[in-house]
A and B are shown apart, each in its own frame.
Chain A
Amino acid sequence: MIRVEEITVHEFRGIRELTLDLKGSNFAVCGPNGTGKSGIVDALEFALTGNISRLSGAGTGGLSVKEHGPHVDSRNKPDQAYVTLKVTIPSLGKQATIHRSVKDAKSPTITPNDADVRDVFDAVALHPEFVLSRRELIRYVLSEPGKRSKEVQALLRLDEIETLRAVLQKISNASSKTSEQLQMPKRDAGIALATALQVTDLNVVNLLAQVNARRAVLSLPEITALTATTSLKDGLASQAGGAAPSRVSKTQAETDLKALAEALGVLADASFVTDCNAAREACEGLAKDPAALEAVSREALLRSALKLFDGGHCPVCDTAWSPEHFKQHVDEKLEHFAEVAARRKVIEGQFLSISQKMDSARAALAAAKKYGPLLEPAVDVTALGTYQERLLGWSNQLGAFLPLSKSIDCLSAAAVAPDLYETLASLTASVAAIPEPTEQEAARDYLLIGQEKLETHRAASLELKRAQDRAAKAAKVLELYGTVTTAALDAIYKEVETAFSDLYREVNRDDESAFTAQLTPSIGKLGFDVDFYGRGHFPPGAYHSEGHQDGMGLCLYLALMGHLQKAGFTFAVLDDVLMSVDSGHRREVCNLLRAQFPDTQFIVTTHDEIWLRHMKTAGLIQPGGSAHFRKWTVDLGPTEWDDKDVWDEIEADVASGKVQAAAGTLRHYLEYFAREICHRLRAKVEFHGDAQHSLGDLLPPALAAVGDAFKQGKKAANSWGNQPVVEAIAAQEAIFAEARKATNVDEWQLNKAVHYNEWASLHKADFEPVVAAFKQLVSGLKCQTCSEVFYITPAFGNKEAFRCRCGIVNVSLLSK
């Protein structure tokens, strides 16, 4: 999305003032530990996101950007702590600047403040994964599958898929529950309707027969079909406009009381008592067996978990699950309880039969008790209400099944016939005392009350159907969502798996050319297994070395970012990753980044100078594409191996008599410089297995290589008959020889007194000429125009030219 052209850091973290010119190209920041490399990473992250991940997350309690973002000496001046980036936005063809201070971390200044530019910065800010540090690398490779799944899902921005799935699951669950809950009101309304119409069931033929018989009494036309809008009282004139009568309808009351008597009779019947006793004995049998009782409890827990599963997490332990896998997991456990489940099923069947009779009685009680206060005189129906509530409680307990002890108690109580006959008798007598309605009045009451009950039943049926339709719709959408997203995610992981394997093979083609990997999404996890030399697939940490694991982490990251951003993957920061990777494979990584991601700007930090050289040699980093920090102080921040800074520092130390410090700095600088010369001029340096070379190992061969270049250049010019060039080279060679002699480098092995080991013990007056001589020598090995150290091209094979970066010095080394 962006490429960084330049970064300016001011009073931020460990940096006082620093500007790096990245030119939108790959860039390396190298230096020993504690020299400020991570400050650059923090600055990049902060400028683009407003956050510093090093100061947040697990283990960073008490740290914050506000308090610890500014340099320690500016901690009370957050407005002075800022980072400015100049960037190129390739997709827009624009250049822009983002300036962010710690004081206004959430409100950066963007120039130009165009909407499309802001959109790009907003997109980058939302995803700080452009920085890969070793801790993320470890998370991708070595973390548990559940955590890896979250990390990868977050990186691929798949959280929205999970969010929608959770919402759809929640809606489906709620719809299903609502649908279940509306079953009972419809059933009750049906019972009330059947009772009111004096039919045994809601068979339309029988129902219409009863209705039309009353309509005939009132000379109303027959109703031939019962549609959704048919009115049983159609054509009936009423003083109250067709509403139900306010007085007690004797006929209806007698019907309801009769229904109540029958329902209570059922509960008092010997067969009901037998059913209750049989169910109770079955429960007691189960309760006496501790193993079976525990199994019933566990089985109930599992069924509850299935019911309460929200589609994303176990309701008991909050473990993340996909719906399919959770059901599979629980079903497998339920199989262990098959025997006790069968016994439970039989008992539940017994419970259902008993509950239905209780529910019928409960509905009859509700219908009957409403007459109590309406009668003259009123009849106390408290006992009816009390028993109605007890029946509801028993029915609910039997529906719940557990605890068994309570169900057993309910069955024992239910088997005892209630003593409601006194209240029932009072009601019956009071109703009987009501004057007999005329046939017309009775018919009218029948139709009015019937219509009222019918409308209630219709409303309940409609609401239930609507709820069932919703539940079915939600379930279908959820099911399809699961199928489609699972297939899509599998395809994504397969693509990433392929890309990762390709990248890793490229880096490790020397010994793992047949490498394959398996990214396996399952059960809310992301399994990650890799081939180990054809012996099978295992977790990366099982058999592969730490170096190989580092390589895997980087390759997986690149595969994920490539998949996520595709052509928009233009910027990434690799913060000292590949620490454990050997030099050979690091070289391959350089080649990989250059070849496979040519349009991505990589900013790489490393403490390893050899890897910096690999990056340069492999062409991943161009000349000028690196910053080499040599030290850090709290007062100055990081200090580069920059000529001017180094000589100023050395000369200042000498001037103030600190010869020892100056000598140390001079030596370290010359070691750094000599390494550069040896690398650039392809000098012959004595091999050390530990790659540790002192100044004495480096500078003499470096100067020898310069001398050889002069000789070869003169020889080549001579062969071409180019006398002016020969003379020019000779003149430079003489200058170089003089400068070289002044440094006494060639005397180091012969004269201990001039050896660099003795510099620290020299007097100031004796050391000053040493400094001057080396300063002159170093200056002579750089182009005065581009300030770059000379180099030989190509880096391998026959030497063809000795030149500088700007080309003003360009000496052919090829003879005729």
Chain B
Amino acid sequence: MTHSFGEGLMMDTLEESLPIPEAAPSTVAHGVLDTFFTELEGTDGFDAVAKRLRKVVLTDGSFAETAIRQALFDEDAAP
């Protein structure tokens, strides 16, 4: 059956215009860690510690004990 009947009604188009979602947010864990660093920054005497820890963990992506210790104590990493 190849006849076209009438003018042909509106053709179905399966071409959807795909909506473009927002860029993927940071991970859930990073969100939680960010909250912690912000809280720590607001704690008296821990502003510098918080900034150093934020850099190590969120910027540099390091969870190594040495790096964390250095960030905590801002001196030689040896205990």
Q: Contact residues of A with B, CB < 8 Å?
A: 1, 3, 23-25, 88, 90-91, 93, 123, 156-161, 163-164, 167-168, 170-171, 174-175, 178, 470, 473-474, 476-477, 480-481, 484-485, 488-489, 492, 563-568, 570, 598-599, 622-624, 722, 725, 728-729, 732, 735, 780, 783-785, 790, 801, 803, 805-812
Contact = CB atoms under 8 A, between A and B. Distances in A.
29 contacts: A3-B18, A25-B14, A25-B16, A90-B19, A90-B20, A91-B24, A93-B20, A157-B27, A160-B30, A161-B32, A164-B63, A167-B64, A170-B65, A470-B73, A470-B79, A477-B40, A477-B49, A484-B32, A484-B36, A566-B25, A599-B21, A785-B2, A801-B9, A803-B9, A807-B11, A807-B12, A808-B2, A809-B1, A812-B9
A480 B40 CA distance: 7
A327 B65 CA distance: 24
A88 B18 contact: yes
B26 to A, nearest CB: 10
B11 A728 contact: no
B56 to A, nearest CB: 10
Residue picked from A1, A3, A158, A160, most chain B C-beta under 10 Å: A160
Given A90-B19, A568-B24, A807-B11, 6 more contacts: A90-B20, A164-B68, A171-B72, A174-B79, A473-B72, A488-B36
Contacts of A729: 5
B34 to A, nearest CB: 10
B3 A810 contact: no
A90 B24 contact: no
A203 B30 CA distance: 53
Contacts of B5: 725, 728-729, 809-812
A490 to B, nearest CB: 11
A489 B3 CA distance: 63
Given A90-B19, A91-B23, A809 B36 contact: no
A474 B19 contact: no
A217 B21 CA distance: 88
B41 to A, nearest CB: 11
A566 B24 contact: yes
A157 B10 CA distance: 47
Contact of B68 (A160, A168, A784, A812): A168
A161 B33 contact: yes
Nearest to A482: B36
Q: How large is the interface on B (under 10, 10 to 19, 20 to 34, 35 or more residues)?
A: 35 or more
A104 B49 CA distance: 44
A161 B29 contact: yes
A808 B19 CA distance: 29
Most chain B CB atoms below 10 A, which of A158, A175, A470, A810 = A810
B69 interface: yes
Contacts of B8: 807-808, 810
A806 B8 CA distance: 10
Contacts of B57: 164
A806 B11 contact: yes
A785 B64 CA distance: 63
Given A567-B24, A803-B9, A809 B14 contact: no
Given A476-B46, A477-B40, A732-B3, A24 B22 contact: no
Interface of B: 1-6, 8-12, 14, 16, 18-25, 27-33, 35-36, 39-40, 43, 46, 49, 53, 57, 63-65, 68-69, 72-73, 79
Contacts of A812: 5-6, 9
Contacts of B63: 160, 163-164, 167
4 closest A-B pairs by CB: A568-B24, A807-B11, A567-B21, A488-B32
A809 B11 CA distance: 10
Contacts of A476: 43, 46
A783 B16 contact: no
A810 B29 contact: no
Contacts of A489: 32
Nearest to B25: A566
A492 B28 contact: yes
B25 A568 contact: yes
Contacts of B43: 476, 480
Contacts of A1: 24
Given A477-B46, A790-B1, A811-B5, A158 B24 contact: no
**By CB atoms of chain B within 10 A, which of A23, A25, A477 has the most?**
A477
Given A161-B29, A164-B33, A622-B14, A567 B22 contact: yes
A809 B1 CA distance: 7
Interface centre among B16, B28, B39, B63 (most CB of A within 10 A): B28
Contacts of A168: 68
A25 B14 CA distance: 9
Nearest to A173: B79
A777 to B, nearest CB: 12
A605 B33 CA distance: 38
Contacts of A23: 14
Nearest to A90: B20
Nearest to B39: A484
Best-surrounded residue of A25, A473, A729 (most CB of chain B within 10 A) = A473
A510 to B, nearest CB: 31
Contact of A807 (B9, B25, B53): B9
A590 B77 CA distance: 56
Contacts of B16: 25
Contacts of B46: 473, 476-477
A178 B9 CA distance: 84
A123 B28 CA distance: 14
Contacts of A3: 18
A811 B8 CA distance: 9
B29 A783 contact: no
Contacts of A735: 1
B21 to A, nearest CB: 4
Nearest to A473: B72
Given A157-B29, A160-B63, A168-B68, A809 B24 contact: no
